[in-house]
Amino acid sequence: MRAKWIRKDKIYIGTWNIMTMLKTGRMHENADEMLKTQLQIIDLQELRWKGVRQINKTKYTLCYSCNSEKTGQLGTGFMIRNEIKKNILSFEPYNERMCKLRIKGKFNNLSLISVYAPAKEKTDEEKGKFYEDLQIVHNKIPMILL
């Protein structure tokens, strides 16, 4: 089993723009790729599914936040190896462009924000709304001042 060489005192995190999960078998393809590596959490963009959900599989869990009304647009989420699932404190969906995962750490907890920013051809209004939402999500993260 490949998990033997994963250090227990570290969390290995990656990010993938997967382009779509609408194709049959795409979730399992992405999971297989993750399981070939030492990655324990993958931040995903462009899932293009509908709604907010958590899917529990034998070796991994997928949490996602997509458009609530239709498939084929946007979507963010996290694919998490089940070996570290016990360290997940919360998954918070915000909208189809962002969600947050909170992880229990040894000394401090960790917050990951998965985002899918608007492309440069989008309107300034849409870009401004995205950055306002991101600031709101960021401001809700507990900060430790040293």
Any alpha helices (H) in the chain, and if so which ranges?
A: 26-35, 124-139
Total domains in the chain come to 1
144 in any annotated domain: no
Residue 121 lies in a domain: yes
> What pTM does this model have?
0.89
Question: Under DSSP, is residue 5 helix (H, G, I), strand (E, B) or coil?
Answer: helix
pLDDT at 129 over 60: yes
17 belongs to a structural domain:
yes
The CATH number of whichever domain residue 55 belongs to comes to 3.60.10.10
Question: SS3 of 102, please?
Answer: strand
| Of 38 and 145, more confident | 38
Return d(Cα 87, Cα 106) in angstroms, integer.
10
Q: Establish if 146 belongs to a structural domain.
A: no
Q: Is residue 60 part of a domain?
A: yes
Could you list the residue range(s) of the whole structural domain that residue 53 is in? Answer: 2-139
User: Does the residue 145 lie in any domain?
Assistant: no
Q: Which residue has the tokens 């492309």?
A: 119
Average pLDDT over residues 82-97: 95
Average pLDDT along the chain? 90
Average pLDDT over residues 44-66: 95
Tell me the pLDDT tens digit for each residue of 26-45.
999 999 999 999 999 999 99
52 pLDDT above the threshold of 90: yes
